[in-house]
Amino acid sequence: MTVPFVDLKAQYQSIKEDIDKSIASVIEETAFVGGKYVTAFEESFAAMYGVKHCIGVANGTDSLYILMKMLGIGAGDEVITVANSWISSSETITQTGAKPVFVDMDPEYYSIDEKQLEDKITANTKAIIPVHLQGQMCEMDTILAIAEKHNIPVIEDCAQSHFSLYKGKKAGTMGIAGSFSFYPGKNLGAYGDAGAIITNDDTLAERCRLYSRHGAAIKHKHVMEGINSRLDSLQAAILSAKLPNILKWTEQRQANAKYYDSILAGITQVITPKVRPETSHTYHLYVVRVERRDGLIAFLKERGIETAIHYPTPLPFLPAYAYLGHQRHHFPVSHEYMNQILSLPMYPELTKEMMDYTAASIKEFYAR
Ligand SMILES: *Cc1c(COP(=O)(O)O)cnc(C)c1O
C-alpha cells in the first residue's frame, strides 16, 4: 500500500464535473482578470464568515504583507509572531521594513505561547500576528486582551485554519483582519496560488483593495502606488466550486484525526495532538511528536508512507534570520520539538485502511 502525504487528485475526482464546468466558463467568457468570478467568490467567502469584506489577493503571503502595509507598518516598527511557522509569517514583516519579533511555541498546543507575548511588546510594536498553525486555534482571549491593553492590532494568519473555531468564533474574525491562503494543499485549495483578506473594518478593506490593485479602484485613477496582487479569476471560479464542500471536508479531517488518535493511543513513543479546550481544530496537519523521528521517517518511507515536518527549522534559527542573533535557549520549546514533530498523512479522502497501515508500520518500527 502507498499512502501519499496529500492526495489532491482524489478530491478533484470527487468534484470533477463542477470544477471542469467552472474552468470552461471562465475561458469561454474570457473573464481572466477581475470580474464576476472574483466578486462571486469574495461574496460567498465573506458570507460564510459573516464578515463585511473579503478581498481576494494573489496568495496568502501577499495578504499578510498588504494588511501590514495598509496598517501603516514600516521601518522602525516591530511585529510579533511565532517561532514555529512558515516563513511567510515573518518575511512579510521584513518586507514592510519592520523587524520580526518571535515568541516561542506553546509546548502543549504548538501555537504561539501567549504567556510570553506581553514580554515581547515594546514601544515600537505595531502588530501581533498569531498563526493558527495546523488548524489549531491560538489562545485568542488572552492575545486580544494584551493587544487591546497596548492598543496593538491583531492580524490572524489563517492560512492553515479555514473554519477553525475558538469559543464558537471563526478564525480570522476576532482580530482586525484574517489572512488566508488557498495554496493547493491548504484545507481550501485552489489549483495555483490564491489568497484572501477578511475584515469588518471598512477603511482597512478599502485600502487593501486599492493597494492590491495598483492603487486604483477605477482604471488609470491611481490614488496611491500599490502592487499587483489580484485573485486570479480561474482560481476564484475553482474556489467557488469547492466552497460548498469545505465543511464536509473539515468534518472528514476531524473524523480522521479522531481515528488516528484512537489507533495511535497505545504507542508510548508517539504523542498525539492535543486540542485546545472550547475550540474546533480543523487538522490542516496532524502533527505527532515521536522518538527517533528521522529513523521512523525513513522506515515509513520504505513502506510507502509519506510524511513531512512542519517545520524542520524554527524561523529564528533559519540562516535568513542569523542577523538577529537568536540562540536556542531563547526558544527552548521550538528548539526541542524541531527534532520530534512529524506530520502524518492527513486529508479528507484518507481511508481507515491507510491510517491502520500507518499505525501498524509505526508500531512495527518501535517493536524492532
Ligand atoms: C501557506 C502559508 C502562508 C502563505 O500562503 P501562500 O498562499 O503560500 O503565500 C502563510 N502563513 C502560513 C502559516 C502558511 O501555512
pLDDT in tens, 339-350: 999 999 999 999
360: confidence class by pLDDT, cuts 50, 70, 90: very high
- Domains 8-103+110-244 and 246-367 equal at CATH topology level: no
CB contact at 8 A, 157 and 135: no
Fold of 246-367: Aspartate Aminotransferase, domain 1 (3.90.1150)
Pocket test for ligand 1, best of 57, 64, 86 (most atoms within 8 A of CB): 86
Instruction: Report the pLDDT value the prediction gives residue 81, as an integer from 0 to 100.
Output: 98
Pocket test for ligand 1, best of 63, 82, 88 (most atoms within 8 A of CB): 88
CA of 35 to the centre of ligand 1 (A): 25
CA of 28 to the centre of ligand 1 (A): 31
Q: Are strands 53-57 and 195-199 parallel, antiparallel or unpaired?
A: antiparallel
Ligand 1 atom at shortest distance from the alpha carbon of 194: 7
Instruction: Report the pLDDT value the prediction gives residue 87, as an integer from 0 to 100.
Output: 98
Cα separation values, 223 from 68, 219, 330, Å: 19, 11, 44
CB contact at 8 A, 243 and 47: no
Residues 6+ apart with CB under 8 A from 24: none
Query: Average pLDDT for residues 21-27, to the nearest whole number?
Result: 97
Instruction: Report the pLDDT value the prediction gives residue 69, as an integer from 0 to 100.
Output: 98
Q: Give the separation between CA 193 and CA 301, rounded to whole angstroms.
A: 28
In three-state secondary structure terms, 337 is helix
Q: Could you tell me what percent of the chain has a pLDDT over 90?
A: 99
Cα separation values, 92 from 129, 312, 360, Å: 11, 20, 41
Q: Give the separation between CA 35 and CA 294, rounded to whole angstroms.
A: 48
331: confidence class by pLDDT, cuts 50, 70, 90: very high
CB contact at 8 A, 131 and 109: no
Question: Residue 154: beta bridge partners?
Answer: 128
Please, what is the average pLDDT of the chain? 97
Instruction: Report the pLDDT value the prediction gives residue 248, as an integer from 0 to 100.
Output: 98
Write out pLDDT tens, residues 225-243.
999 999 999 999 999 999 9
Instruction: Report the pLDDT value the prediction gives residue 108, as an integer from 0 to 100.
Output: 97
> Could you name the CATH architecture of 8-103+110-244?
3-Layer(aba) Sandwich (3.40)
Neighbour-count burial of 93, counting CB atoms closer than 10 A to its CB (0-12 exposed, 13-18 middle, 19+ buried)? buried
Question: Residue 279: beta bridge partners?
Answer: 166
Write out pLDDT tens, residues 256-270.
999 999 999 999 999
Write out pLDDT tens, residues 46-96.
999 999 999 999 999 999 999 999 999 999 999 999 999 999 999 999 999
CA of 265 to the centre of ligand 1 (A): 31
Greater confidence (32 vs 175) lies with 175
Cα separation values, 364 from 9, 268, 299, 367, Å: 30, 13, 9, 5
Write out pLDDT tens, residues 191-207.
999 999 999 999 999 99
Prediction pTM value: 0.97
Q: Give the separation between CA 274 and CA 63, rounded to whole angstroms.
A: 29
Domain ranges (residues) in the chain: 8-103+110-244, 246-367
Helix 16-28 / helix 233-242 crossing angle, nearest 10 deg: 150
98: confidence class by pLDDT, cuts 50, 70, 90: very high
334 lines ligand 1 (CB under 6 A): no
106 lines ligand 1 (CB under 6 A): no
61 lines ligand 1 (CB under 6 A): yes
Cell of 313: 527549522
Closest residue by Cα to residue 129 from 184, 192, 86, 182: 86
Residue indicated by cell numbers 480543523: 282
Query: Average pLDDT for residues 24-40, to the nearest whole number?
Result: 95
